[in-house]
A = this chain, B = another copy of it.
Amino acid sequence: MLIVQKYGGTSVADPERIRNVARRVARTQNQGHHVVVVVSAMAGETNKLVDLVGKVSEGKNLREYDVVVSTGEQVTIGLMALALESLGLRAVSFLGFQVPIITDRSYSKARIARIKTHALKKALGEGIIPVVAGFQGIEDEGDVTTLGRGGSDTTAVALAAALKADKCEVYSDVEGIYTTDPNICSEARLLDRISYEEMLEMASLGANVLQVRSVELAMRWRVPLVARSSFSDAPGTLITEEEKVSMKQSKGATNLESASVSGVTYDKSESKITVVRVPDRPGIAAKLFTSLSEAAINVDMIVQNVSTEGFTDLTFTVARTDLKRALEHVGRVAKEIGAEEVRSDENIAKVSIVGSGMRSHAGVASLMFRTLAKEGINIMMISTSEIKISCVIETKYTELAVRVLHEVFGLGKKKK
């Protein structure tokens, strides 16, 4: 097999951990696989570099920002190649321009345009382990670019796609993807498998494990992704196509719930805004959300009640950090359209259940609502997609809601 292994900042945080990773790479090679290694900067280094930039200027010149912040990965590839050679393996480091990984010219958030695989394939053919700098690329005129924070995951997946690798393993200090946050639910269970789509909906759970963008890329190119820990031998979570997930799941699944829901997520970072008694005319909502979008304020959930006497209430959520700015815009538009008033509430949380299986199981939503009701938890907003149902509730009930939903959908460790 050809395996791309990506090691994150905590996995290469110091020389000892780098040697530990080298031993892991060696084991993989000894099992008869070809390995391409992708590394991040040592934990904390990129932040240090960003701080330096901030101390020298306002950092508006992103070309130079990229020159500075891309050095973290350069240090790690050299050290990793040295550590691999110390174990008697052959390894060669590759900077973005040496692969080359060619990106567009959007400094600090560049997108990969194409990857030339000739040099990597030549190295692999000679039994050499290529150690590629994550996060960085080169644009057509020879400037260094970076892919944005967490971009090393994207580098790894893009390399796996370009090389047609059998899988891409992303190593961090977390064992994989859990059914929910183990910090608030002791029954949280590590998932063996999960579909790309579910993973994307559960982004908040995987925030420290996999970048959303890399999952999207993996989905697009059908690259099997594995999220696992460099500090243990646990196999981690395989993120793959839905068919392959359900095939596996159906073996052990014996009831409605376990077949349909893969995880429970929550988000306490949003606030709710309600525009009361909006005249129910075409174009009103468009006007409101255009104003927010022009101010670069992202709106998450939107709920509009059915109209009564030609008026309706419009409720939506925004990031709490955007609330103040959002209220300024909404207040102005509300006046223009003749709404009665604007209310806001910071005391909310969004709890979601995610699962590809729920598409074909009508009872999932009602089980969720009933379960919350039984605990006396009031649902303020509901939003549904094909594989996700979200409810906005009072913040204080977040943990309780997560635990009861986790249990009722059979996600706990004791699941048969």
Contact = CB atoms under 8 A, between A and B. Distances in A.
Interface string A45-67: 00001001101111111011111
Contacts of A67: 74, 77-78, 81, 93, 95
A85 interface: yes
Most B Cβ at <10 Å: residue of A57, A63, A65, A85: A57
A144 interface: yes
Interface string A89-107: 0001101011000000000
A177 to B, nearest CB: 31
A95 to B, nearest CB: 7
A90 B143 CA distance: 16
Contacts of A68: 74-75, 78-79, 82
A359 B100 CA distance: 57
Contact of A79 (B52, B79, B143): B52
A18 interface: yes
Contacts of A65: 78, 82
A352 to B, nearest CB: 41
Contacts of A269: none
Contacts of A18: 56
A246 B112 CA distance: 60
Most B Cβ at <10 Å: residue of A78, A86, A98: A78
Contacts of A55: 15
A137 to B, nearest CB: 14
A75 B70 CA distance: 9
A109 interface: no
Identical copies in the complex: 2
A53 B79 contact: yes
A130 to B, nearest CB: 12
A144 B67 CA distance: 15
A15 B55 CA distance: 6
Contacts of A53: 78-79, 82
Contacts of A19: 56
Chain A interface helix/strand/loop/mixed: helix
Interface string A3-18: 0000000000001001
Interface string A206-229: 000000000000000000000000
19 contacts: A15-B52, A18-B56, A52-B75, A53-B78, A53-B79, A57-B82, A57-B86, A58-B86, A61-B81, A64-B78, A64-B82, A65-B78, A66-B78, A67-B74, A67-B78, A67-B93, A67-B95, A70-B74, A71-B75
B82 A61 contact: yes
Nearest to A93: B67
A318 to B, nearest CB: 32
Given A71-B75, A75-B71, A81 B64 contact: yes
A56 B71 contact: no
A330 interface: no
Contacts of A61: 81-82, 85
A12 B118 CA distance: 39
Given A64-B93, A98-B142, A59 B71 contact: no
Nearest to A18: B56
Nearest to A83: B56
